[in-house]
Amino acid sequence: MTDQRSGAGEGRTEASENVGSTVPTHSDMGLNLVTRGHVSELKSGRRYDDRVTGHGPSTAGAHGPSRVLLAAPRGYCAGVERAVEAVERALEGHGKPVYVRKQIVHNAHVVRDLEGKGAIFVEDEREVPAGEVVVLSAHGVAPEVYEQSRARGLTVLDATCPLVTKVHLEARRFAGDARTIVLIGHAGHEEVVGTMGQARDRTILVQDVAEARTVELPAGPLSYLTQTTLSVDETNEIVRVLRERFPHLEGPPREDICYATQNRQDAVKELARRSDVVLVIGSRNSSNSKRLAEVAIEQGTPAHLVDDETEVDPSWVAGADVVGVTSGASAPEWLVERMLAWLASLGAAEVEEVRVTEEHLRFSDVRV
């Protein structure tokens, strides 16, 4: 938290995208990328009502996709960019091997790539040989992880996203004020484990609307916090249900769902409204990527979460005229480029970017 150039409260529209410099560009691949400044300037190819009722545009069907809509913002957020760079810089600065506790970010390609460069991924800091270097993942950890790392004499490079650290600090402050914390999030997700660890005795997890309807909470002051990568709409509904039952429930000073989650969900909503099918590039253990597929489906558009183009069943796009493509906050841009090249090979060489906002935020480097 201390080393970010822009504060945790930075507007949701502010973050950087990391577009790999070594991957081919759209023009290198012969793709025709049409970029517009704002979504309101884009011509809608079809009406939302048509799509949900199953009446596709007249061009859809027989000959496969002709056009790709590409969501923006998409892909790497500022926290992921910083965490991946931390491992790369640690390898440069300390030499091989560098240990990484848990997946640095939830993306299979990123993990494999870093393994190839000399990173060793472990599930627990107690697996790291004494005295070695360990990088903590972007999802954050409970305090005992720092204690156990210290006890082993490890050099800790903490790549916890500053926006997760913000939630940790809120949890500790609420607990210090003797408040009960309702944490909205998914059991077992590393971020939730780390946040619950900040105030274990005072935190009660609520995972969905059904649990919000039935959860029993103690008398006394109540505050809620959320995982940073949830569905914005579902979280609003959970909070609404909780507030109906517990009107004195207070929220954090600023929402915990981060700018990157919000922006990518806004973009995929717009994308889904104008596409016949949406392909979300991301790993299945990536919370924000899964939410993107769900948000698209909620718009009435079929959506599929895939690690890369090799996982796309051609039948998913065979009857589609317009294919929407986006990527989760932990998916590198070169996977998007690969997906676009594959779609171009099917005839969908025209790519139009659907941008809902700009992002410029970048966090300061992890000190290695």
Q: Is 271 in the site for ligand SF4 (CB under 6 A)?
A: no
Shortest distance in whole angstroms from residue 184 CB to ligand SF4: 15
In the residue annotation, 147 being an active-site residue is answered as: no
Q: Is 163 in the site for ligand SF4 (CB under 6 A)?
A: yes
Q: Is 267 in the site for ligand SF4 (CB under 6 A)?
A: no
| Residue 320, number of CB atoms within 10 A of its CB | 24
> In the chain, at which residue ranges do the beta strands (DSSP E only) sit?
32-35, 67-72, 98-101, 119-122, 133-136, 155-158, 180-184, 203-206, 222-226, 277-281, 303-306, 322-327, 350-355
Q: What is the full DSSP assignment across 321-348?
A: SEEEEEE-TTS-HHHHHHHHHHHHHTT-
Residue 69 or 230 having the CB closest to ligand SF4: 230
Residue 241 or 281 having the CB closest to ligand SF4: 281
- DSSP code for 140: -
Q: Is 141 in the site for ligand SF4 (CB under 6 A)?
A: no
Q: Is 80 in the site for ligand SF4 (CB under 6 A)?
A: yes
| Binding positions for ligand SF4, 291-350, rule CB under 6 A | 329
Q: Is 231 in the site for ligand SF4 (CB under 6 A)?
A: no
Q: Is 195 in the site for ligand SF4 (CB under 6 A)?
A: no
Cβ 18 vs Cβ 333: under 8 Å: yes
Give the integer Cα–Cα distance in Å for 221 and 218: 9
Which one of residues 70, 134, 260, 335 is an interface residue with ligand SF4 (CB under 6 A)?
Answer: 260
Cβ 71 vs Cβ 326: under 8 Å: yes
Q: Is 164 in the site for ligand SF4 (CB under 6 A)?
A: yes
Q: How many residues bind ligand SF4 (CB under 6 A)?
A: 15
Catalytic residue among 14, 170, 191, 337: 191
CA distances from 98 to 86, 123, 165 (A): 11, 14, 23
Per DSSP, the chain holds a count of helices (H) and strands (E) of 12, 13
Shortest distance in whole angstroms from residue 363 CB to ligand SF4: 8
Q: Is 258 in the site for ligand SF4 (CB under 6 A)?
A: yes
Give the integer Cα–Cα distance in Å for 96 and 94: 7
Binding mask 11-50 for ligand SF4 (x = CB under 6 A): ----------------------------------------
Q: Is 288 in the site for ligand SF4 (CB under 6 A)?
A: yes
Q: Beta strand 322-327 with 67-72: parallel, antiparallel or unpaired?
A: parallel
Cβ 356 vs Cβ 100: under 8 Å: no
* Residues lying near ligand SF4 in the complex (CB under 6 A): 77-80, 138, 161, 163-164, 228-229, 258, 260-261, 288, 329
Q: Which residues are catalytic?
A: 191
